[in-house]
Amino acid sequence: MHPAQGFCYRAILRVKPLTGYTIRQAWIASETGYDTVDVQIEGGRIANIAPQLDPVGIVVDGRDKLLLPGFVNAHTHSSELWQRGAILPYPLELWLAELYDFAPADPEQVYLSAIGTAVETLLSGGTTVVDHLTIMPGQELETIGAAVKGYREAGIRAFVAPLIQDQSLPSSIPTGGTVQVYEPYARTAQETLEMMSEAIAQFHRPDDGIYIVMAPTGPQLCSDELFAGCNELSDRHGLCRHTHLLESKAQKLLAEEKYGCTAVEYLKRLEFLGPRTSLAHCVWLNDHDIQLLAATQSTVVHNPLSNLRLGSGIAPILKYRQAGVNVTFGCDGSASNDSQDLLEAIKIGSILHNVTDFDYRHWITPRQAVSMAALGGATGLGMQDQIGSLDVGKLADLVLYDLTSLSLLPRTDPIGLLVLGRPVQAVHSAWVGGRQVIADGNMTTVNVHQLRQELFARSQWAVDRQSPTRDALEARYRSVMGLQGD
Ligand SMILES: [Zn+2]
């Protein structure tokens, strides 16, 4: 069924007028410990925070609960949900070949995986998602429309970043000095930019929590012309910019072959970097590259689970922080993680770096991790004045954690255990722009039981599948990466 034809979980909350809430006696982090406060939500924003307030609107019992700003799942690809768990251990370039061979072909799948991504993000503390959305050739606007519909229904704040490129997949592998001839990509840069103009006109609705992002796949698959066009549309419409950057060693080699400089220097020359530019992965940067990110106030999105899963490497996150680069976390797509548990990404993304620097004073504390996930994510989207902290006047993107959850007991340090533990069913309530999307641990916007049935019915076991594109690329990949055998 086409997503425009009414298959719909529940879009009621989006059109309802905003209700006021008073969260009573919730724990919030103070400078040195925790305080209990009342928090009023009115008109979609945090209206008041004080030890005691007269209740307005619906009263929510905040006792024995921790209130935090919602986190940002700052890099994912929602439709990979359909392939999670399916791809065997391969490095990025070969993994991607298999991913492309089995990409969903029906916008209805994109709609369902957007809802699934939103639900898992919300239930693990995220209230905003950045979806670097794979779009189907010939059905570009339908794909974007399907994801937007899913996110609106789920009620999550969504930065929808259509994944655009104008070069074909084999050109993402270094040539190693050999002569390679590539098929032209399905769309030219010009056609892609025209499609994006239309997508902006149809779907960019910041007041409704839906933001279109200019998001070329990465320097490995995009021309100068496409990057320049993205800059132009981003400037004209005030849109964020997003791309993959130096995720794999192969991409580092390719940038040197293709541009004669690092990929960061290349993006700097193209004027793509800046305070509203977020860069996924950033594993293979040198010290000069790091200085360029700091100088341009660009944001690094750390995707630790994907980097481990694909053997991409460990991003030098502690170096970024010491250089003053803003860093936040992403789950990355579900086929390279293979989950959308944001708390898990925050945990691994924090403690992973303890093995990279012997000086424990550089390690990331749980409170720093929470700030990176909330305010750091907001900053990368130019939203630091709107979301990311508990401040009066900000949009009410809030999450209330149940401190009586078995996984958060006994009572030690709530934020310490939330980040370093393994929280299970810990989110009690969540609001996005003042709309409650989780209550009593359950989604209020999505019928999760029905979603589970849909995902089950529309999929099948996918073991031992063959990937012709991967087979075609593997010999060159092994050769240029210096691996034995073909
Ligand atoms: Zn990605």
414 and 373 housed in the same domain? no
56 CA to centre of ligand 1 in angstroms? 42
Q: Rounded CA gap, 239 and 216, in Å?
A: 13
353 and 431 housed in the same domain? no
- The position carrying tokens 């004073």 is 361
456 CA to centre of ligand 1 in angstroms? 25
77 and 205 housed in the same domain? yes
Assess contact for 228 and 270: CB atoms under 8 A. yes
Per the domain annotation, does 265 fall within a domain?
yes
Report helix, strand or coil for 17.
coil
360 CA to centre of ligand 1 in angstroms? 30
Higher pLDDT, 183 or 339: 339
- The position carrying tokens 């995220």 is 126
390 CA to centre of ligand 1 in angstroms? 29
Q: Rounded CA gap, 450 and 453, in Å?
A: 5
Pick the closest to residue 68 from 120, 125, 111, 23 (CA basis): 125
49 CA to centre of ligand 1 in angstroms? 38
Per the domain annotation, does 21 fall within a domain?
yes
What are 359-394's pLDDT values in tens digits? 999 999 999 999 999 999 999 999 999 999 999 999
305 CA to centre of ligand 1 in angstroms? 11
* Phi-psi map region of 125: left, alpha, beta (phi>0 left; psi -120 to 50 alpha): left
129 CA to centre of ligand 1 in angstroms? 13
Maximum CA pair distance of the chain?
73
DSSP 8-class letter at 338:
S
Instruction: Say which CATH number the domain at 150 has.
Output: 3.20.20.140
173 and 97 housed in the same domain? yes
**Would you state the pLDDT for residue 2?**
41
Pick the closest to residue 117 from 444, 340, 280 (CA basis): 340
How many angstroms from the chain centroid is the CA of residue 260? Answer: 30
436 CA to centre of ligand 1 in angstroms? 29
**For 196-199, which contacts have Cβ atoms below 8 Å and span 24 or more sequence positions?**
196/162, 196/164, 196/229, 196/230, 196/233, 197/233, 198/141, 199/140, 199/141, 199/144, 199/162
For the stretch 131-168, what's the b/e string if a residue is b when 16 or more beta carbons lie within 10 angstroms of its beta carbon?
bbbbbbeeebbbbbbbbbbbbbbbbbbbbbbbbbbbbe
**Would you state the pLDDT for residue 1?**
37
Per the domain annotation, does 123 fall within a domain?
yes
Domain limit, last residue, from 380, 403, 429: 380
How many angstroms from the chain centroid is the CA of residue 342? Answer: 9
Cis peptide before 338 (omega within 30 of 0): yes
Q: 248, exposed or middle or buried, with CB in 10 Å at 0-12, 13-18, 19+?
A: buried
332 CA to centre of ligand 1 in angstroms? 5
Q: Would you say residue 11 has pLDDT above 60?
A: no
418 and 271 housed in the same domain? no
Per the domain annotation, does 256 fall within a domain?
yes
233 CA to centre of ligand 1 in angstroms? 22
Q: Rounded CA gap, 329 and 377, in Å?
A: 7
49 and 124 housed in the same domain? no
**Would you state the pLDDT for residue 62?**
98
What are 12-37's pLDDT values in tens digits? 444 567 899 999 999 999 998 999 99
Rg (CA), the chain: 22
Mean confidence (pLDDT) of the chain = 95
Q: Rounded CA gap, 99 and 189, in Å?
A: 23
Q: Rounded CA gap, 472 and 486, in Å?
A: 11
Q: Would you say residue 345 has pLDDT above 80?
A: yes
Q: How many domains does the chain have?
A: 2
469's CB contacts (< 8 A; 6+ apart) are 97, 98, 100, 101, 169
Per the domain annotation, does 465 fall within a domain?
no
219 CA to centre of ligand 1 in angstroms? 13
The sheet with strand 241-245 has its strands ordered as 241-245, 277-281, 299-302, 326-329
Per the domain annotation, does 6 fall within a domain?
no
287 and 317 housed in the same domain? yes
* Phi-psi map region of 64: left, alpha, beta (phi>0 left; psi -120 to 50 alpha): left
72 CA to centre of ligand 1 in angstroms? 15
212 CA to centre of ligand 1 in angstroms? 17
366 CA to centre of ligand 1 in angstroms? 25
**Would you state the pLDDT for residue 290?**
98
243 CA to centre of ligand 1 in angstroms? 8
Average pLDDT on 295-313 reads 98
287 and 418 housed in the same domain? no
450 CA to centre of ligand 1 in angstroms? 28
421 and 314 housed in the same domain? no
249 and 202 housed in the same domain? yes
Please, what is the Cα angle at 413 between 408 and 415, to 5 degrees?
A: 75
201 CA to centre of ligand 1 in angstroms? 25
Q: Rounded CA gap, 419 and 343, in Å?
A: 7
**Domain, as residue range, for 41:** 16-68+389-442
Per the domain annotation, does 341 fall within a domain?
yes
216 CA to centre of ligand 1 in angstroms? 11
169 CA to centre of ligand 1 in angstroms? 15
262 and 366 housed in the same domain? yes
Pick the closest to residue 95 from 345, 284, 306, 249 (CA basis): 306
119 CA to centre of ligand 1 in angstroms? 19
155 and 183 housed in the same domain? yes
334 CA to centre of ligand 1 in angstroms? 10
Residue 127: its H or E element: strand 126-134
Amino acid of residue 250: A
Instruction: Say which CATH number the domain at 38 has.
Output: 2.30.40.10
Domain limit, last residue, from 334, 356, 380: 380
Per the domain annotation, does 196 fall within a domain?
yes
What are 443-485's pLDDT values in tens digits? 999 999 999 999 999 999 989 899 999 999 999 999 999 998 7
What are 166-209's pLDDT values in tens digits? 999 888 889 888 888 898 898 999 999 999 999 999 999 999 99
70 CA to centre of ligand 1 in angstroms? 22
131 CA to centre of ligand 1 in angstroms? 9
- The position carrying tokens 């307030």 is 53
30 CA to centre of ligand 1 in angstroms? 35
Please, what is the Cα angle at 133 between 343 and 189, to 5 degrees?
A: 145
328 CA to centre of ligand 1 in angstroms? 14
312 CA to centre of ligand 1 in angstroms? 12
289 CA to centre of ligand 1 in angstroms? 20
End-to-end CA distance of the chain: 44
Q: Are strands 299-302 and 277-281 parallel, antiparallel or unpaired?
A: parallel
Residue 351: its H or E element: helix 342-351
Pick the closest to residue 75 from 395, 337, 396 (CA basis): 337
Provide the H-helix boundaries in 123-171.
140-154
466's CB contacts (< 8 A; 6+ apart) are none
Domain limit, last residue, from 380, 407, 428: 380
What are 235-289's pLDDT values in tens digits? 999 999 999 999 999 999 999 999 999 999 999 999 999 999 999 999 999 999 9
291 CA to centre of ligand 1 in angstroms? 23
330 CA to centre of ligand 1 in angstroms? 9
